[in-house]
Structure 1
Amino acid sequence: MSYRPSSARRQQTSINPITGEKIDYNKKSHFTNDQTAPIIPSLDLTDVSDSDRQPPPSARQYNGSARPSTAQGGVSARVGSYRPESRAYGNFDHQQAIYTNRHGNALQNTQYDLNPGRVPAMDIKVVYPPHPMSARTQRALSTRLPDSVRPAMILDGKVDYTPRPNLHSSVNSAIDEFQLAWLESGNHQDSLKKVAAEEQNEQRKQELMNEQVLSDQLSRYVLSDIEQEDDRHKPYIMQQQPRRNLDRRMHDTRVKTSTSLTENLLSKRIRFSCRIVTRDGKDALRELFGFYFMLDRTLAVYEYRILGKRSNALPLIPRGQYIHLSGYNQGQPYTLLDFYHGARIDFDTRSIMSLPETVRHRTKLTISIISINEQEKQTLLLDGIQDQKRRDILYAIKHPYSTEQLDYQRYLADVHQLTKPQIKQRTLIVYTSLAEYYRRRANVTRHEDKDPICICEKEDLLAGLHEYKIHLSAGHFSYIWSHMSIQGESNEFLNLLFGELNEKRFAQVIKAYSKVDPSKTGYTNIDTIKKFVNLYGHPYAIHNRLSDEQLWTRFCDTFRFAIDYPRISYSEFLNVYEALSIAVDQDDDFIHLINNTWHM
């Protein structure tokens, strides 16, 4: 028998260190005799019935009004007691179907209405057979159009069409009213969402261009470096070997020279999208991206092209330093401050041999910047600049225009305030007719490889204004004439007289024209346009105001001013939307008009 030490035995008593009370663990009644200790009641299942709707007898005898008496006290009173109600919530009497609070008082407006007639009858709508639709409405409904151009409601019968009062309620020309009516159909929000999606696609395209241009710049200058030529012109040592092994210029080409570029050196650059300022459709449809490198203040312009299934970046203007050809900074090289939204960059075509034939015949090539990342531009300009010059640079970024440019813009704005109200009610018919008038007075002959430039005499321009009752003072006319880049060019004269499209609107016009001229020839015809125009989405078609033939005839009347009708040039297509831009004040409305017209 093993001996158990006394230290391992359980202590029978202990002393509370706080109160000093002696606790004896052998007395089990120390806990059970305490009347204040909570006791768990026993579970009584004798009153359980099949239906859970009837309360137990113990609940019915108290009628839900008061607690059972606990005067007898003791453990038995607590164990056998039943609490039919809760102090936190009211009681429910199943026999009288009323609510009472914890004091037994009936609550107001809580008595159940057990009348079965209280339940309302089910509202069943009788579905009548559909009204027979006409063949025109069925054809319009069967045409699967995008959500932005699908009509919200197609009605049968003639319905008087009420145009938007603030846009063309006072339009006198039927052609203007027909074109502006496209604003009344479709969803404006869908048009804006599609424009935002196109901007994301444009961002991905720019990232692809950035990679290809960087690869081209890193490999181009290594092969054409002067050090490569020094090694190639070394005298050969005549040895007894075949002649084909003497010329080893390709094998001796260096992978890297002392002046070769690296990706780190070219990292400080700014990318921007641009376009060629021209009336020629071939060059206007070119998608261009420019790059300005802070390393040596050089500039390069690349063209985005899709060859087969691959997209490539083809150099249009090689990398080099270029200078201002006119203005206050004439003769000085371009800096990063010269690149901003809407800026015009001029190039001398005689010094650039890689330009296409359609551009080379001109003495000056002008590109306009469509978009540029202003945040990256500011970061590059403020890199390493002290606090004293940061304020001047920030001011130059926020105010890119010179004093001469601001005065020029203010003067033209005053001219526009005088000329636009004169043709506001007949914008499209006057603008296109005036463009046709100048073309006929100048005897324009189009060439496939040149711009459709229309040069008129000063008397011809004044005669056109007098013909269409446009009043312009002699001082304003002289100012416009002196500020024309090509004096007498009618399209430039109209832009200076009434204002030109901003870059946001111009981008939508280019997208619309690229649909009707997929080959990028600069010309289209009225039959090709018919495939893309959204005639069934026009409000006149939705409300059955005009027949199909009348709709098409009314649309063709818009382009009958073209000299070679039904052949329509890019310049004539642009004249239509330059005129509509005068009548539409908001950019979002103008974008919706184009998207709704051409299923964009």
Structure 2
Amino acid sequence: MGKSQVTEEDVNRAVEAVKNTYTKSDSPRLRDSEDLSESGDEEEQLQLSYTNKSFPSFQDSKKMDATEFEEFKRKQHLIETVMVDQLSRAVISAPEQDTRPAPRSHRPGMPRGTNRSLHESKVSTNTTATENLLQRRVRFGARLLTRNGHDAIRELTGFFFHVDGSLTIYEFKQFGKSAKALPFIPRGQYTFARGRRLQEPYTLTDIYPGANLEFKTAGLHSLPDSVRQQKVAVFRVTDVDDVAKSKIILSGVKPSDREKAYARLHMPKSKAELEDRVLMLEIQTFVRKLLKKRGVRTVMGLGHHCRKLDRNNTGLLPRFELEKALLHYHIDLGEGVLASLLAILDEEGTGYLDYPEFLRTVLGEMNEYRKSFVLRAFRKIDAGKQGVVTCSDLKKFYNAAKHPKVKSGQCSEMAVLKSFLDSFQYCEKTEEVTFQVFEEYYEGLSVGVENDEDFANILRNSWNL
């Protein structure tokens, strides 16, 4: 594994390589030279025309403001809870707490060596560690990458403490009218669990939207059983307090140099890591061009196809099955490119791959801003927070009345609703729609939407967000 330092010249070359994606003779190509430029899914196109901005009424605006304020209050409450928790732990575990005042043990009637009660601990320490701990922290949002819908929709918030390079992740839970922040990943110094940077410690520059944080599950007893069954738990960073982060990592850097310094700090750490990223980005750029007019059909079809093959529900499939699945859906990456990709994903050479990770790598993903709207919509439908809803639930919450063609009289509400539900035909037998399937639908739809706000409007209008 190469550890040579990455230069700006290396990055510039990588950018050019992605711009000229697959111009070589061994590049991925459409199977049988299929031309998709005119093909398209009518149901998908109907949903894509939902992007017109909705102008809320005065009452709707008041509701939106109230919702945003409630969300802000929840975040503040969570931050305060976590900081009190971490401060308490820091104070109680401080070395000077073990020092017993001599006069205390010589009081009449008090035997020597008597243990102090918890309330007798000092509320501060002689060092500045606790102060730095609280001040030099960066909050980030996170979510679990998992096939378990209940775990995928958990509300997670993490904190990176720059004073010692430690991090922690808490779960926000609502218990009736009260809310609590419960430890999910205990505070500690963690290292990369896989890949080119195996066993290297996480740093603040590794915390950015879209980054994956991976933790070996052994010894992490606060994780749910469904997560601990896997060797590695993968968390996706969804958002970061960039103000706090920039203040720390750009301390002492001139304002005129900050943009370049920030970019340099977030470069891949080695040329090998850069090459891996370039290969994956090239593949995703190429594939997403193919899926421009058939995103929903292909993404949902591939997901359903892989789950059917996974009879033991392990999340793993043989490499050859995944190769066949891509060809079945007319995605031909070419033998050389596919072999290079499989070597990265199957670094231990087991011959089996985590197929959700494989599909994310090949198909690419919508950004975390878009995913936040998908999560909000599903949480609104899934009142019980089980990670599973029914087709009846979708009908109940889906708002076809706001579709532009319904408003203009070109289409009926029933036709728009049917075009949406037809995409979930694989769920007809069980009547259940998992979060994974719901997310796959919008992953496919997202391919055809260039603008983030247009995509957000599709979710706002159709689910009354």
TM surpasses 0.5: yes
Segment of structure 1 superposing worse, 342-351 or 247-256: 247-256
- Which residue of structure 2 lines up, in the alignment, with residue 585 of structure 1? 450
In the TM superposition, residue 225 of structure 1 has moved relative to its aligned partner by 5.3
Residues 173 and 528 of structure 1: is their aligned pair in 2 closer, same or farther, counting only changes over 3 Å? same
SS of corresponding position for 1:322: coil
SS of corresponding position for 1:296: coil
Partner Cα distance (1:195, 1:397) in 2: 34
In the TM superposition, residue 571 of structure 1 has moved relative to its aligned partner by 0.8
- Which residue of structure 1 lines up, in the alignment, with residue 304 of structure 2? 436
Residues 318 and 289 of structure 1: is their aligned pair in 2 closer, same or farther, counting only changes over 3 Å? same
Out of 108, 122, 125, the position equivalent to 1:255 is 122
Partner Cα distance (2:446, 2:259) in 1: 33
Segment of structure 1 superposing worse, 455-464 or 197-206: 197-206
- Which residue of structure 1 lines up, in the alignment, with residue 367 of structure 2? 502
- Which residue of structure 1 lines up, in the alignment, with residue 406 of structure 2? 541
Partner Cα distance (2:341, 2:67) in 1: 37
In the TM superposition, residue 195 of structure 1 has moved relative to its aligned partner by 8.8
Out of 402, 409, 412, the position equivalent to 2:277 is 409
Residues 462 and 380 of structure 1: is their aligned pair in 2 closer, same or farther, counting only changes over 3 Å? closer
Partner Cα distance (1:489, 1:386) in 2: 42
One-letter code aligned to 1:373: D
SS of corresponding position for 2:316: coil
Q: Is 1:219 paired with 2:88?
A: yes
Residues 442 and 421 of structure 1: is their aligned pair in 2 closer, same or farther, counting only changes over 3 Å? same
One-letter code aligned to 1:513: F
Q: Is 1:557 paired with 2:422?
A: yes
Partner Cα distance (1:185, 1:215) in 2: 42
SS of corresponding position for 1:573: helix
SS of corresponding position for 2:236: strand
Residues 211 and 475 of structure 1: is their aligned pair in 2 closer, same or farther, counting only changes over 3 Å? same
Q: Conserved in 1, the CA contact under 8 Å of 2:53 and 2:457?
A: no
Q: Conserved in 1, the CA contact under 8 Å of 2:37 and 2:293?
A: no
Residues 298 and 417 of structure 1: is their aligned pair in 2 closer, same or farther, counting only changes over 3 Å? closer
Partner Cα distance (2:303, 2:446) in 1: 15
Q: Conserved in 1, the CA contact under 8 Å of 2:94 and 2:125?
A: no
Residues 304 and 251 of structure 1: is their aligned pair in 2 closer, same or farther, counting only changes over 3 Å? closer
One-letter code aligned to 1:507: S
Q: Is 1:475 paired with 2:333?
A: no
Q: Is 1:460 paired with 2:329?
A: no
Q: Is 1:513 paired with 2:392?
A: no
Q: Conserved in 2, the CA contact under 8 Å of 1:282 and 1:520?
A: yes
Residues 476 and 361 of structure 1: is their aligned pair in 2 closer, same or farther, counting only changes over 3 Å? same
Out of 155, 168, 176, the position equivalent to 2:44 is 176
- What number of residue pairs does the alignment pair up? 417
In the TM superposition, residue 456 of structure 1 has moved relative to its aligned partner by 2.4
Note the residue ranges of structure 1 that are not aligned, 5 or more in a row. 1-167, 446-452
Partner Cα distance (2:443, 2:96) in 1: 54
Q: TM-score, normalised by structure 1?
A: 0.61
Q: Is 1:367 paired with 2:228?
A: no
Note the residue ranges of structure 2 that are not aligned, 5 or more in a row. 1-35
Partner Cα distance (1:474, 1:195) in 2: 51
In the TM superposition, residue 518 of structure 1 has moved relative to its aligned partner by 1.8
- Which residue of structure 1 lines up, in the alignment, with residue 13 of structure 2? none
Out of 237, 256, 277, the position equivalent to 2:145 is 277
In the TM superposition, residue 410 of structure 1 has moved relative to its aligned partner by 2.6
Partner Cα distance (1:179, 1:169) in 2: 19
1:526-577 deviations in Å (ceiling 9; x for gaps): 1111111012223443344555554443332111123754111111111101
Segment of structure 1 superposing worse, 512-521 or 332-341: 332-341
Q: TM-score, normalised by structure 2?
A: 0.77
Segment of structure 1 superposing worse, 179-188 or 293-302: 179-188
Partner Cα distance (2:445, 2:118) in 1: 63
Partner Cα distance (1:505, 1:420) in 2: 16
Partner Cα distance (1:410, 1:265) in 2: 37
Partner Cα distance (1:296, 1:443) in 2: 45
Residues 206 and 215 of structure 1: is their aligned pair in 2 closer, same or farther, counting only changes over 3 Å? same
Partner Cα distance (1:265, 1:470) in 2: 49
In the TM superposition, residue 470 of structure 1 has moved relative to its aligned partner by 2.6
Q: Is 1:312 paired with 2:187?
A: no
In the TM superposition, residue 499 of structure 1 has moved relative to its aligned partner by 1.0
Partner Cα distance (2:400, 2:371) in 1: 23
Residues 556 and 258 of structure 1: is their aligned pair in 2 closer, same or farther, counting only changes over 3 Å? closer
- Which residue of structure 2 lines up, in the alignment, with residue 67 of structure 1? none
Residues 326 and 464 of structure 1: is their aligned pair in 2 closer, same or farther, counting only changes over 3 Å? closer
SS of corresponding position for 2:200: coil
Residues 205 and 169 of structure 1: is their aligned pair in 2 closer, same or farther, counting only changes over 3 Å? farther
Residues 565 and 548 of structure 1: is their aligned pair in 2 closer, same or farther, counting only changes over 3 Å? farther
1:335-386 deviations in Å (ceiling 9; x for gaps): 2222223222222221322222222222212222222233322322344x59
Q: Is 1:208 paired with 2:74?
A: no
Partner Cα distance (2:374, 2:441) in 1: 10
One-letter code aligned to 1:341: P
Q: Between Structure 1 and Structure 2, which shows a larger proportion of helix residues?
A: 2
1:278-311 deviations in Å (ceiling 9; x for gaps): 2322222222222222332221222222222233
Partner Cα distance (1:392, 1:544) in 2: 56
Q: Conserved in 2, the CA contact under 8 Å of 1:185 and 1:538?
A: no
In the TM superposition, residue 463 of structure 1 has moved relative to its aligned partner by 2.4
Partner Cα distance (2:440, 2:281) in 1: 20
Q: Is 1:523 paired with 2:388?
A: yes
Partner Cα distance (2:294, 2:133) in 1: 56
Partner Cα distance (1:438, 1:386) in 2: 49
> Percent identity between the aligned chains?
29
Q: Conserved in 2, the CA contact under 8 Å of 1:432 and 1:561?
A: no
Q: How does 1:74-153 map to 2 (within 5 A)?
A: none
1:179-215 deviations in Å (ceiling 9; x for gaps): 2232257459999999999776654443332222221
In the TM superposition, residue 458 of structure 1 has moved relative to its aligned partner by 2.4
One-letter code aligned to 1:364: V
